[in-house]
Amino acid sequence: MSVVGDTRQSILATRKAIRFVSCYASKWPRFMQTSQVWISSNWIHLHFHIRVLLAGKQYLPGTYQYHLKNGLRPARFSGKLTSLSGTGDIGIAEERFSIAVVASHTADMPSYTIIYLSDSGYRRLFMESERPLDMPSRGRFTGVAVYLKVLLSVLPIWRRKWIETLNEFDNLVGVKIDDLFDPKRDGAAMFDSSFERSKLYFTVLQTLRIFTEWIQESERELQQLKRDFDINVQSNTARRSSIASSHGTAPPAMFVKEIDEAWEELMTLHNSSSKSLLDRIEKKEVEIKSFRDGLFSATSVREASRATALNQYILVFTIVTIFYLPLSYVSSLFSMDIFDYDSIRSSEALFVVITITIAVSTWAVSAVVLWLVHDDRRLSRFKLLFRRFRWKAIYPPQERKSKEDEQIPIFQGV
């Protein structure tokens, strides 16, 4: 493409166009500004990118594969959210809207050109637009006015797609009244033994956080676009002269006012759309967190009940073990060669006496220990008595008196 005019400016304009197409087709740049404004004596270049995450069965991997017929294959994120039933899986796909305007005052170039790139096609913009997307020529900034009209027509489509995505998430994690009162699914929404429901809630919460970041990012980019435009116009010394040279019928001051009003309308529309979307996302996050907390609480209570039942089984097993433990111990003891078995009667009597003694001692000690650990206050008093007994048993009275004097605080009584 040959461009008449300053060669340096034409090279810059070509670079801006390449960056615009690259930003649309490649991965979304992180920590970089996607919008850009460039105003010179012969050129005006603005471009703005906005994106949305689509959700639905039609976007499942293998079903939804976006590519243009001209061979351009944009880099887009896609994935799948698995439902609990396995039949309500939904796909996740990224979609972008890229709008640019190029206005020039060279002899072989049109006064302005609007470039609109969208993954969902071009006809939808013109079919759903509620305002005319063209206007009579009014000078150098006519393309900017048309560009703002296009942005005003794109934002409702962008907002509608976000609403459709949030509706899909409502169907995915929402609780229906039929599920609450269905006896076949009793407890299905309350307990989570396989952690599948917890995993779904975690994934949805993180996805909603990404939704919030993308919406806030678009708001920041649009505000930055307006600030850069104002700065470039104010710094361009030829602004007033170029507007005065317009060959339109409208006065220059009125035309500048129309552009400012279009900017204000655009910012107001985006702010209201972003606020409604962010409010809905916030309410959905609170709802899912309440589901998750209730799920964790119910699961914890269920596991505690199971642990209590298991402790009862262990208690029964322990009691039976304690009952047979003295008998097995005495049998093992008498099987050793330390006893004289010449007299059968004396051996039987000794066996019975030792068995009864050990059994009664074992059961008594077990009963005392069980009685102590059943109440924390009893156990604390027992530990205190044991310490006192140990203190008296180890140290004689005189040494005990000296150690007690050493433990008296220095400032006691001050």
Predicted confidence (pLDDT) per residue in 18-55, tens digit: 888 888 888 888 777 888 888 877 788 899 999 999 99
Residues 50 and 99 in one domain: yes
Report yes or no on 328 lying in a domain: no
Best-predicted range by mean pLDDT (20-29, 328-337, 373-382) = 20-29
Residues 246 and 149 in one domain: yes
CA 376-377-381 angle, to 5 degrees, is: 120
Q: Which residue has the higher pLDDT, 369 or 115?
A: 115
Predicted confidence (pLDDT) per residue in 175-222, tens digit: 666 655 555 554 555 555 556 777 888 888 899 999 999 999 999 999
Residues 109 and 171 in one domain: yes
pLDDT for the residue numbered 89: 85
Phi-psi map region of 169: left, alpha, beta (phi>0 left; psi -120 to 50 alpha): alpha
Q: Which residue has the higher pLDDT, 33 or 342?
A: 33
Residues 381 and 274 in one domain: no
Residues 260 and 372 in one domain: no
Report yes or no on 239 lying in a domain: yes
C-alpha distances in angstroms, 408 versus 374, 391, 400, 401? 35, 17, 13, 11
Report yes or no on 323 lying in a domain: no
Report yes or no on 314 lying in a domain: no
Residues 233 and 113 in one domain: yes
Residues 226 and 356 in one domain: no
Report yes or no on 324 lying in a domain: no
Residues 151 and 225 in one domain: yes
- Which domain covers residue 230, as residue numbers? 7-306
Residues 229 and 350 in one domain: no
Residues 212 and 276 in one domain: yes
The token pair at 274 is: 């972003």
Q: Which residue has the higher pLDDT, 241 or 218?
A: 218
Residues 27 and 119 in one domain: yes
Report yes or no on 316 lying in a domain: no
Q: How far is CA 226 from the centre of its chain?
A: 30
Domain end among 252, 285, 306? 306
Contact present, 108 and 4 (Cβ < 8 Å): yes
CA 377-307-303 angle, to 5 degrees, is: 120
Predicted confidence (pLDDT) per residue in 256-267, tens digit: 778 888 899 999
Residues 150 and 228 in one domain: yes
Evaluate if residue 399 carries a pLDDT over 90. no
DSSP 8-class letter at 184? G
Count the domains in the chain: 2
Domain end among 286, 306, 326? 306
Report yes or no on 325 lying in a domain: no
pTM equals 0.68
Evaluate if residue 271 carries a pLDDT over 90. yes
Q: How far is CA 349 from the centre of its chain?
A: 76
CB proximity list for 356: less than 8 A, separation 6 or greater: none
pLDDT for the residue numbered 76: 86
Contact present, 43 and 73 (Cβ < 8 Å): no
Predicted confidence (pLDDT) per residue in 54-110, tens digit: 998 888 887 666 555 556 678 888 888 887 766 778 889 999 999 999 887 665 667
